[in-house]
């Protein structure tokens, strides 16, 4: 998936990053795979695309989990996110449940 094709002389820095929320894991997977073409994965849902732009791709239900979570549940979810590269909703839901 090519979102734009900037001129070769355009350089991107870490001063800007983009955050995408997706309704489903399938959307996360599709956007992640498209943005990652020619780029590199980072961690916690972050990747750098082939142009050097940083993106975080997150399923929107993660916000719901964290909003509903007590301190223990939130800690487990956050710890699970820290161990991920691409965010996996099923794993986070399992961490939420304990």
Q: Which residues of the chain have a pLDDT value below 70?
A: 1-14
**pLDDT for the residue 8:** 60
- What residue spans define the domains of the chain? 17-97
- Do residues 27 and 58 touch, judged by C-beta distance below 8 A? no
How far apart CA 76 and CA 39 sit, in angstroms, is 29
Laid out side by side, the sheet with 17-22 consists of 17-22, 54-59, 46-48, 40-41
How far apart CA 49 and CA 94 sit, in angstroms, is 29
**pLDDT for the residue 50:** 93
Nearest to 1 by CA among 21, 25, 30, 24: 30
pTM above 0.85, yes or no: no
As a CATH number, domain 17-97 is 3.10.180.10
């Amino acid at each position: 998936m090519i979102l734009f094709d900037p001129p070769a002389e355009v350089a991107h820095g870490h001063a800007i990053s983009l955050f995408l929320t997706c309704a489903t894991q399938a959307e996360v997977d599709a956007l992640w795979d498209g943005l990652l073409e020619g780029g590199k994965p980072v961690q916690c849902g972050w990747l750098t695309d082939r142009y050097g732009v940083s993106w975080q791709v997150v399923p929107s239900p993660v916000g719901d989990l964290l909003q509903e979570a007590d301190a223990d549940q939130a800690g487990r979810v956050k710890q699970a996110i820290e161990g991920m590269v691409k965010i996996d909703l099923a794993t986070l839901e399992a961490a939420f449940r304990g």
